[in-house]
Amino acid sequence: MQTPKPLSGKQSTGRQQTGNQQPEKPSRKRDILLAALDCFDSTGVELTTIGDIQRLAGCSVGSLYHHFHSKEGVAEALWLTLIEDFNDTMLRRMKKAKDGKEAVCSVVAGYVAWSVRQPKSMRYLHARDIAFSPAGSARKKELLDHYIQGVFGIFAPFVRAGELAELPLHAYVPLISGPIESYVRRWLAGEAPTPRQVEALFAQAAWNAVKGPGY
């Protein structure tokens, strides 16, 4: 039902609507990523064929390869797009926190909220083992650094104030989000009930794990 039209008329060949360069609506490129997520989630990246994506996105092979270098390229771009959205959402949420405990809890709550809102995306972020290209790898590092820096900016004051304990730098994230991450992973695999049930419990545990000596 996708592209039975011959290349004669002017129906749907070439660009459709491009006048708008606003944040949302590059359309084709986005369609492809969306379709890819669906395919990858249901079939797995390995078993998903270019044809599957192309068919679901309603585009041609050429179009797909114009926007992305390869199948791995699609997988990579999708991962980077999702992680960027996830990071931004989390940071925005953390910034609203008034004290250390609120900040810690916002991480747990944010993680659950984003996962519940887009389970396929979180499953993809979790499960996917991507062979990053040099460029993709650089972009990934860039995003990671930006996120780390943001988190650091938010939490450092609380550590200085003694609200949070002084721990090895790399210990904070696992201590705070490790449990909920682990739980959500199981939930997404169908092995546990909704994370809403344990959200408060895990937030409290996270706070206990990193709170300062006086609290």
Partner DNA sequence: CAAAGTTCTAGAACAATATTCTGGAACTTT
Partner DNA sequence: AAAGTTCCAGAATATTGTTCTAGAACTTTG
Are 43 and 127 in contact by the 8 Å Cβ rule? The answer is no
Q: Is the dihedral of CA 29, 30, 35, 37 positive or negative?
A: positive
Residue from 10, 46, 98, 214 in contact with its own copies (CB under 8 A): 46
192 binds its own copies (CB under 8 A): yes
**Residue 151 parent element (H or E):** helix 134-160
Residue 60, interface with DNA (CB under 7 A)? yes
When asked if residue 213 is in the footprint of its own copies (CB under 8 A), the reply is no
Residue of the chain from 66, 197, 200, 215 that contacts its own copies (CB under 8 A) = 197
The site string for DNA over 10-49 (x = CB under 7 A, - otherwise) reads: x-xxxxxxxx-------xxx------------------xx
User: What is the distance between the alpha carbons of residues 3 and 73, in angstroms, rounded to a whole number?
Assistant: 24
Least distance in Å: CB of 1 to its own copies?
Answer: 26
- Residue 204 C-beta-side C-alpha neighbours within 13 Å: 4
91 binds its own copies (CB under 8 A): no
The binding track of 138-157 with respect to its own copies, each residue x by CB under 8 A or -, is ------x-------------
Euclidean distance between CA atoms 57 and 72, whole angstroms: 17
Please name which of 152, 86, 141, 75 lies closest in space to residue 114, comparing C-alpha atoms: 86
Measured in whole angstroms, the distance separating CA 180 from the mean position of its chain's CA atoms is 15
Q: Residue 191 touches which of its own copies, DNA, none (CB < 5 to 8 A by kind)?
A: its own copies
E strand map for 151-203: none
Supply the minimum distance, in Å, between the C-beta of residue 90 and its own copies.
Answer: 15
| Positions that interact with DNA (CB under 7 A) | 3, 5-7, 10, 12-19, 27-29, 48-51, 58-63, 65-67, 69-72
